Amino acid sequence: MSIQPGTHKLGPESGTLSVNTERTGAAAKAGHNLVIHVTAWEATLAVGEDPAETTLSLDADAKSLRVIDGTGGLQALGDDDKENIQKSINDDVLKGAGIEFRSSSVQADGDGKLTVEGELTLVGKTSPITFDLVIGDDGKLAGSAVVKQTNWKIKPYSALFGALKVVDEVVVSIDASLPSS
C-alpha cells in the first residue's frame, strides 16, 4: 500500500504500543516474560508528497506502562505482582521520564515498508535507533524495534542478588490502524 500524503495521528485509540521483556539468570524460572502496554502515547506520521519528506514522531508517558501478561514463572502473575512491577518501572527503570522518538530519515520501498531511522530519548539519554514499519493494504501499521537498555544507560532490572534479570534487549512493538482519509 502506498501511504497517502498528509498527517496521520496514532494513539491508544488506533492501536497498541507494547514492550516485551524476557528473563535470564540462574533463577530465571522464578520470573516472568512480560507483555507491557503503553496506555498514553501519541505518534504522528507526516507523509510528504516527496517520500523523502516523510517524518515520524512519538511521545509516550513512561508512567502509563501497564503489565498485561506474564508467562513462565513458578506462580501465576497476580494483580499485586503487576502493580509492584509497574512501580519498579516507574521508580527504578524509567524514573517517570518522558519517552520521545524523532525520525531523521524515513525511507519507503513503495510496497508499504518504511525503514525509519531516528533518535530515541529514554531517561534523558538520546541514542540512535533504526526499525521497520509495514503498512498493509488495509491500513494496518505494524513494526518493532529492539531497544538495548544499556545503550540508554538503563540498568536492566534484577532481583535475587542478580540471579534473576531482565534481558538487556526489550522489544517495542506497534500494531495500529491508520485513520481513514
Exposed / middle / buried, residue 37 (Cβ in 10 Å: 0-12, 13-18, 19+):
middle
In the block, cell 504522528 appears at 44
Give residue 31's domain range: 9-47+63-97+133-177
Domain for residue 104, yes or no? no
Higher per-residue confidence, 161 vs 35: 35
Domain for residue 128, yes or no? no
Taking the C-alpha atoms of 22, 27, 29 and 31 in order, what is their torsion angle to the nearest 10 degrees? -50
Torsion over CA: 31, 32, 33, 39 (sign): negative
SS3 category, 54: coil
Cell of 61: 508517558
Q: CA end-to-end span of the chain, whole Å?
A: 14
Domain for residue 1, yes or no? no
Domain for residue 90, yes or no? yes
As for how many domains the chain has, the answer is 1
Would the pLDDT of 181 be above 60? no
Average pLDDT, the chain: 89
Domain for residue 108, yes or no? no
Strand 113-122 with 99-108, pairing: antiparallel
pTM: 0.89
Cα–Cα distance, 147 to 43 (Å, whole number): 18
Domain for residue 164, yes or no? yes
Q: What is the mean pLDDT of residues 116-125?
A: 95
Would the pLDDT of 54 be above 80? yes
Cα–Cα distance, 176 to 178 (Å, whole number): 7
- At 46 the pLDDT is 92
- Classify residue 92 as left (phi > 0), alpha (psi -120 to 50) or beta: alpha
Domain for residue 154, yes or no? yes
Cell of 2: 502506498
Cα–Cα distance, 48 to 121 (Å, whole number): 25
pLDDT band at residue 127 under the 50/70/90 scheme: very high
